Amino acid sequence: MAATALLRGAAVGRGNSAWRWRPSGIPRRSLARGSGLLGSNPADGVAWTCFRLDSRALVRVRGPDAAPFLSGLLTNELPISGPPTGEAQPSAPAAYAHFLNVQGRTLYDVILYGFPECTEEAPGFLLECDSSVLGALQKHLTMYKIRRKVTVEPHPELHVWAVLPRTPQNPGLAPLEERVEAVTVLTRDPRTIRMGWRLLTRQDGPALVPRGQLGDLQDYHTHRYQQGIPEGVCDLPPGMALPLESNLVFMNGVSFTKGCYIGQELTARTHHTGVIRKRLFPVRLEGSLPASGISPGTLVMVTATGQAAGKFRAGQGHVGLALLRSETIKGPLHINTSESQQVAVTALVPDWWPTAAK
């Protein structure tokens, strides 16, 4: 059974399998054990914080050839929406993937959703992308469509929301029992449990989610950077970022057993050699910052030797992402700003990353 839920009947289960239907409501489990990093006041009755992501847009790809068409362009398997097919595992509710260019560098990061209104004869998918590249992604898809029976079109009717818990898993706050009358797609964020849920709806997110409140987008991006999650073209510059350096494996965004796709050769070769010298790390910036912030591409230096450790990629306030050589992250690091300031940089390793990466 697809874990993607229509909120008139949401899927509930343990772990990632053994899903069943409950008549109404949102899954009983808290979004993530230990992932309530937004602060909380249990007395106010708020359990969930909803963030409307206007920086994300949706493209609908549907038609008889939609599945093989997308499979040849994306790094990951496709999510399949629909009833059980007899496998031990349920069909995937959503998937994270990258479109690559022929040199194996990331063009666009997307979250894919199996579109529940489509049928097996005419399957369809929703692709969530950075809104600034909506037109470019449509053009990219159209270029490779050739004679395939596929329709590519924007889908502005639905808005993308992120839903995060206010507290870590707590029996007093986890159950969301109230009935929600709306036809909406709700699914766990496929990148990591620490990013909660994705909600696609025509309606207002906080009004849909029992005990939900509207959140400040700065809090969402701060949380995302703290967890080391790149999202959109600022964090993953098109044609520059390498998918494995961007931790695509950690975020469940690549399959090494699927069929061929554009850019596969370099990605597979890098994976099988096991040599990834640089990674995108979350970083914390200490002290006062320039009024304009830290510019993307600014060098991060090893304080002891003055050698380059990598480059700052993007951030908000005192948190961000930097592409760093892995052997340099334990030593003191700094950035020299354009105003002749020295800003200390601390590289962080998220606790949800695989042990081998820590």
Output the domain CATH number for residue 302.
2.40.30
Rounded-to-integer distance, Cα 1 and Cα 80, Å:
10
Where is the domain boundary, 276, 302, 322? 276
Tell me: do 163 and 25 sit in the same domain: yes
* Whether residue 141 sits in one domain with residue 32: yes
Instruction: Confirm if 4 and 187 have CB atoms less than 8 A apart.
Output: yes
**Is the Cα torsion angle 84, 109, 161, 37 positive or negative in sign?**
positive
Walk along the chain (358 residues) and give the pLDDT tens digit of each residue: 333 333 333 332 323 322 222 222 333 333 333 334 455 455 467 889 999 999 999 999 999 999 999 999 999 999 875 544 433 333 348 999 999 999 999 999 999 998 755 555 566 899 999 999 999 999 999 999 988 999 999 999 999 999 998 864 433 333 333 333 454 788 899 999 999 999 998 888 888 888 889 999 999 999 999 999 999 999 999 999 999 999 999 999 999 998 899 998 888 888 888 788 999 999 999 988 887 789 999 999 999 999 999 999 999 999 999 999 999 999 899 999 877 789 999 999 999 999 756 5
- List the Cα angle 274/189/43 in 5-degree steps: 130
The domain boundary residue, chosen from 242, 276, 310: 276
- Are 133 and 237 within one domain? yes
Task: Tell whether 19 and 102 lie within a shared domain.
Answer: yes
Domain final residue pick, 244, 259, 276: 276
Domain around 306:
277-357
Residue from 52, 56, 54 nearest 110 by CA: 56
Note whether 245 and 141 are same-domain residues: yes
